[in-house]
Structure 1
Amino acid sequence: IEMVALLAVLLPCAVQAAPSSSLRFSARHRSPFSTPSRSVHANALPYGAAVQGIGPALEMAYRKGDTAAIQLLEAAKGGSDGDSRFGGVNAAFSRIQEASSGPAGAVAQAAAAAGPTFSHCQSSFFDLNKLTPKGPRKGADTGSPHDASRPLVKLGSTSAGGWWCAEGGWPSPNPRPTTEVFYVFSGHGCLTDADGTRHFMGPGDTVVLPKGWHGRWDVLEDIHKVWFITDHPDTDKNRNPRAFVAPYRSFAPQYLAPQADAAGSPSAAAQTVHDNGYMKVGVSTINPGSFVVSNRATTECFHVLEGLFFLTNADGSARRCAAGDTVCLPKNWSGNWDVIEPVRKIWVDVRQ
């Protein structure tokens, strides 16, 4: 009788405890990606939080004073389970579920048909230890120049990447088949035109080597640069091509003319330093604010000199961009600019 009484007390407790322990076990061993709905709801978070994380999205929301977005992101952050991209969705499940049926959710569901997305990298992408060695420069007659490079992206006739070269010099007698634009991170050098005209370059300079250029390269101190190369038809300017160097000081505010940015920003200043009819090269500034771009007519690649902004693709994916970053916007790109701090950029705009 005593044994029966004891079992009567213990069995109900075991039955009540079993579901709780099994839930804890399943929670510990469930993959964060095992439930498809989690990523869908995460995509509904504003400012591209599903891609870049809740932290950067919150920074953007606070800077813009977007109270509704701040509340949603803070709620999601509060429930984070360790995955910065998808964590916290359960904590704000009901609010995210409502959002997923609105504009943000519609964008996520239509991502495949949203059009092309931009390419982006931080300056660390071109760190020396990430470049691929190419070996000694052929035909070198001064020093022992050897170089390394890393491509970023190719969009139609335009490509972007990074390059480094050790000290040395070599002749470049064959006319260039493309136009190259580059921004010097570090180092010094000299480009000599076919007629003997010299163009010295150093950190912060923007250099244009037009199609048809030939002459001589001299790397006076190891050079590190980001480059943009465009293949385009011949122009009248190819008949007597000369290298062109625009020093950083030439991009000071007093030298820029107020005008609309190529991407359609409401307030900007710009200066064009090269225009061959197929592509333009220049610098522009963009003031804080937000604007929408619909179906770009051209391809633009640029290097960010100053500022902070967010770019959002039509599919809702977004990136935080800052000084040192390189970005390429393909033709027909649509999306949003949210400029947080004044931006200054070197750009190449190609009519394809």
Structure 2
Amino acid sequence: RAYLIATGSRPDISDIKGLQTIDYFTPNDIWHKVLKVGKLKVAGSTSQPSLPKSWVVIGDEPIAPELAQTLARLGCEVTLVVSTTRILFQEDLEASRLIQAQLEAEGIRVLTDSRVDQVREIEGKTWVQAGNKAIEADAILLATGEQPNVESLNLEGVGIKYTQQGLQLNQKLQTTNPRIYSCGKMAGSYPCAHIAQYQASIALKNALFFPCFKVDYHSIPWTVLTQPQLARVGLTEVEARKRYGKNVWVIREYFKDLDQAQLLGKTTGYMKLVVGGNGTILGATIVGSQATELIGEITLAIQQKIQLGVLANVYYPYPTLSEIFNKTAIQWQHQRMSRNQTLKNFLEGFFNLRRSWSK
């Protein structure tokens, strides 16, 4: 009665001049190829493949800085090339700048706003033309996205519309043929495994019962596994201000103010909460140690519509990184108080009266 298409995807190979004439890596095959073609160095009873010394990582996808940092920490020289004006362009501006600064501090050369025009092999060396710069490298890693595996499915024959990015779906994850559903990488621009699981649960319920369930990505977290980690859920500051105008609060708390972060030596990062005027949490961005673990609590608060003031009355064990929630909530209360002159005047008068009673 119903069908679910989940045939996955493969790397989207950019139309770069000369790319077909040289060897390159993709996120899907990099470690497999290294194990297969790397020269083995025998040390005692262990064998270890040798990585190419210098790399150019090309791509705007979140996996590009993740792999660039991994390669750099394995001792490689790495240049990360993105076509956008900053890495992780869809993320909070402060977050992407902080992570870019960390990559550069680890020796990674980051070239932004640089489109790769061509690649060539000259005297055994690979050269990458990125904007007005020519970069020499031993290996190229393409992290330019993925395209769905649809060629053999005869989608046109059953009335399904699709593009190179994925199938055309409605909020119920139905294709343009309402009996056929899809999820995961076939569904477009959400490549995380936990988002694919969420989509699969919606699609299966609609296919097995009645098509009345809709996806809502507002309360689904998104993560980038660099170090420090980045995790986001809900609206960014820019998105919230576009939707709600001036009736938005932005609250920040920094890891450097947490005793546990100081004990661990991981003080880089912050949490930013975007909050509505009544305390409703609209979105959150966390950059720092264990960000992907911490984002779960804010995700629950957004899903259950728990206001930020509630977190101010939750006492977290000391010392832990989770104290950042309580500290941020209390900071929001203080900011509200400082802007509410009527309440401040009332409290000042009340406590003057209380002092007079005690005389």
TM-score (norm 2): 0.21
User: Larger % of helix: which?
Assistant: 2
Q: Which is greater in Rg?
A: 1
In terms of fraction of residues, the more strand-rich structure is 1
